[in-house]
Structure 1
Amino acid sequence: MTANREIDSILQRAADGGRITPEEALLLYTEAPFHALGEAADTVRRRRHPDGIVTYLIDRNINYTNVCVTACKFCAFFRAPKHKEGWSHPMEEILNRCGEAVDLGATQVMLQGGHHPDYGVEYYENLFSSVKQAYPQLAIHSIGPSEILHMAKVSGVSIEDAVLRIKAAGLDSIAGAGAEMLPDRPRKAIAPLKESGARWLEVMAVAHRNGLSSTATMMMGTGETHEERIEHIRMIRDVQDLAVERGYRDDAVETGQEIGGFRAFIPWTYQPENNHLKGRTQATTMEYLRFLAMSRLFFDNVSHLQASWLTTGKDVGQLSLHLGVDDLGSIMLEENVISSAGARHRSNLHELIWMIRTADRIPAQRDTLYKHLAVHYTPEDDPTDERVVSHFSSIAMPGGGAGRKQLPVVGVS
């Protein structure tokens, strides 16, 4: 209970599973007492996930090229075509990195790259089919709507044809990459050459109706207003409503129904180094935590909420587990894109499990579709592989480099 009856009423309705409007979400985000907001969000988590389990994933982000024609102002990773620092990895190197990931227990790879002017649907068909042929046990959770729009344009095919072809080649799930900010004003300010937010969501809807589920993301801290942050999640929720209406349920893993829709929402914070925005605006820790809690209340049609310890730090990641979060994402064996912009947080498998357990939750390794692969009810159930550390081959991190398996790990505060 708070001193504001209107806020009390909204919190109670949302905690009970009722829908809140964007206007109510803005009121909660800006004015609800922090502890009451967090308690309501955690009530939703307990109802949706009563087993008390918090999941994690082992995966590797493999970049096939840094050449990109989009030139987003927040990106420190890309290089323009013909730039002397531009590169594209041969298939042999990509498959070698997939093999290293499998050896370290990864169940997923995220293949990411720039919008290379020469890479159409045919390139991605070859990429995905080659990975699947060599490592059928790896789920390919990769690319985003921006890449799909780009490849379709290069190849001169429709969005639906592109989606169907890359799905047939082996793509298992679409990443929420490229969402950043979906409302027009902030999107044009930070990524003027990218598609509109409405177009980004249109591609997601095409993927959903063709049986590919996805994640949804949001980048906070590039000068967007509170109202624009709420509008971003409103746009996502509307598309998810359509997926649910058509029968592509977000809990399809448990029900056995065809997969579709958004499985999870993942907000993260803009990183200020080595890009044109130069950190002129950033989201505070409290803004991030409040938005997490409010998002859990707002997304009555999305099952999972993931916190970004990579961009906010492990202490914030652990605190988020009391604000409605049920997933801590992955031990990323490699990550170059956000790290190039200044994300310096690392972890290892034991540390991530410790973060979950000491928050009074039960750690569990999951797969891409949130199926539990191993539940660690007690410390005796924990994995013992000391090699599973994040960023062991990241070119963007000090001390990184392909093949190095041991990196210093910063302790959790």
Structure 2
Amino acid sequence: MRALSEKILAGGRVTPAEAATLYFEAPLHELGRLAHAVRLRKHPEPVVTFVSDRNINYSNICVCGCRFCAYFRAPGQEGGFLLDREELGRKIEETLALGGTQILLQGGHHPDLPLSWYEDMLRFIKNYPIHAHAFSPPEIAHFAKLNGLSTAGVIARLKAAGLDSIPGGGAEILVDAVRSRVSPRKCGADEWLRIMEEAHDLGLRTTATMMFGHEEEPAQRLEHLFALRASQDRTGGYTAFIPWTFQPANTAIEARQLTSVEYLRLLAVARIVLDNFDNLQVSWVTMGPKIAQLALFFGGNDFGSTMIEENVVRAAGVSFRLSREEIRRLIKGAGFTPRQRRMDYSLLEEA
């Protein structure tokens, strides 16, 4: 551990074997110390950023049937919806009134909507001064298959219609042996990565995520991290990494809820492994505000989103809510200066 600690503090890149040593053997506080040192090397200023946005679900109708999802409805099932333009406009106007700068659009894999429907939605959104962060790789793969197009062609058309960036949703664990069990109808790990890299090649920035603690082995979480690191080496297009723990309530997966210590260990190892990612986001949505504060000393430098609206995690029984003012207070309480940012991590001017 001493030699490994010295290597990390000197800026060395860890190998998969070294990452496993850290993840499975390092004392928690030493792991946190190393991750915080990496964070300070990248961001020496005492600033923690956040974004003010809203998650808007344009539909919950989905043919995937992922076993971890408590939100979707199958086609024809009671409770399915498709958001109309009037309601979408109202949600955007509310977001702008609350100081929001972007919306995150999420939807199921609807079996009947043509690509033109999504293009029209983006054009409608662009009537407002707001950033459209939308359509994860599995959605793009679904659009391509449904419309007989390449995924790069779909991304190009969505960008022309107003798409500004792509969220990292649908990553779960980027190991096909896991994906085949928990989300067998979604794109595989290689396709997820390829779609992200196509977006980067077309000039779009994206985020990357991990949902862990369901049916993967702990070592497969490390595989996920190294797949992302290799992808970032190829394109440099990811702005941030966002890990969160699986919420088992109301889902078809029986799993215990991971502890805060397990979350902090993964976060810290991610900060060390992902040396080519500038930003690491903490998850107050699943872990609560106090653990999110602590996570700022385990590698995190971003407090995530205000999430003016969030429905998917809430459907799994978790309902932490924080206003922009509460996020500022929590960041200050942890000893940092809060700054509101945009998706690309440029800072907004302070009022």
Letter in 2 for 1:327: D
Q: Indicate which of 255, 260, 274 corresponds to 1:280.
A: 255
Q: Residue deviations 1:195-242, cap 9 Å, x none?
A: 111111111111111111100000011021111000011111111110
Partners of 1:120 and 1:149 in 2: how far apart? 13
Are 1:78 and 2:72 an aligned pair? yes
Return the TM-score normalized by structure 2: 0.97
Q: Which residue of 1 aligns with 2:163?
A: 171
How far did residue 281 of structure 1 move? 3.3
Whole-angstrom CA distance in 1 between matches of 2:63 and 2:137: 15
Tell me how far apart the structure 2 counterparts of residues 48 and 91 of structure 1 sit (CA, whole Å).
42
Q: Aligned to 2:312, what secondary structure does the other structure show?
A: coil
Q: Which residue of 2 aligns with 1:307?
A: 282
3-state SS in 2 of match to 1:115:
coil
Q: Does 1:16 align with 2:10?
A: yes
Compute the displacement of 1:348 (Å): 1.8
Aligned residues of 1:18 and 1:300 also touching (Cα < 8 A): no
Q: Is the 8 A contact 2:68 2:182 kept in 1?
A: yes
Distance (whole Å) between structure 1 residues aligned to residue 268 and residue 251 of structure 2: 29
**Match for 1:59 among 40, 43, 53?**
53
Match of 2:243 among 267, 272, 278: 267
- Name the counterpart of 1:346: 321
CA positional deviation for 1:282: 3.2
Aligned equivalent of 2:23: 29
Q: Which of 316, 326, 331 pairs up with 1:356?
A: 331
Say whether residues 1:116 and 2:110 are aligned partners: yes
Percent of aligned pairs sharing the same letter: 45
Residues in 1 aligned to 2:5 and 2:307: alpha-carbon distance in whole angstroms: 35
Distance (whole Å) between structure 2 residues aligned to residue 15 and residue 167 of structure 1:
40
CA displacement at 1:80 relative to structure 2? 0.4
Paired residue for 2:217? 225
Shift in Å, 1:374: 4.0
- Is 2:308–2:323's contact at 8 Å kept on the other side of the alignment? no
* 2:265 paired residue among 279, 287, 290: 290
Residue-pair matches, total: 351
> Which moves more between the two structures, 223-232 or 118-127?
118-127
Find the aligned partners of 1:91 and 1:104 in 2 and give their Cα distance.
20
> Mind listing any 5+ residue stretches in structure 2 that lack a counterpart?
none
Question: Hey, what's the Cα distance between the residues in 2 that align with 1:350 and 1:91?
Answer: 30
Cα distance in 2, alignment partners of residues 193 and 161 from structure 1: 21
DSSP 3-state at the match of 2:215? coil
Q: Is contact 2:284-2:292 (8 Å) kept?
A: yes
Matched, 1:215 2:207: yes
Task: Work out which of the residue numbers 312, 322, 330 in structure 1 matches 2:305.
Answer: 330
* 3-state SS of 2:348 partner: strand
1:387-406 alignment runs, 5 A limit: none
Give the TM-score normalised by the residue count of structure 1: 0.83
Asked if 1 retains the 8 angstrom alpha-carbon contact of 2:53 and 2:307, the reply is: yes
Q: Is contact 2:179–2:188 with CA below 8 Å preserved after alignment?
A: yes
Instruction: Please state whether the residue corresponding to 1:201 is helix, strand or coil.
Output: helix
- Which gives a bigger RCO, structure 1 or 2 (Cα 8 Å, sep 6+)? 2
Partners of 2:214 and 2:252 in 1: how far apart?
11
Deviations 1:352-398 (A, max 9, x none): 111111111111011111111145xxxxx7xxxxxxxxxxxxxxxxx
Partner residue of 2:32 out of 34, 38, 41: 38
CA distance in 1, matches of 2:115, 2:230: 29
Structure 1 unaligned segments of length 5 or more: list them.
1-6, 245-260, 376-380, 382-413
Q: Distance in 1 between matches of 2:13 and 2:272?
A: 8
* Alignment check: 8 A CA contact 1:56 1:365 kept: yes
Could you say which residue in structure 2 is the equivalent of 1:373? 348
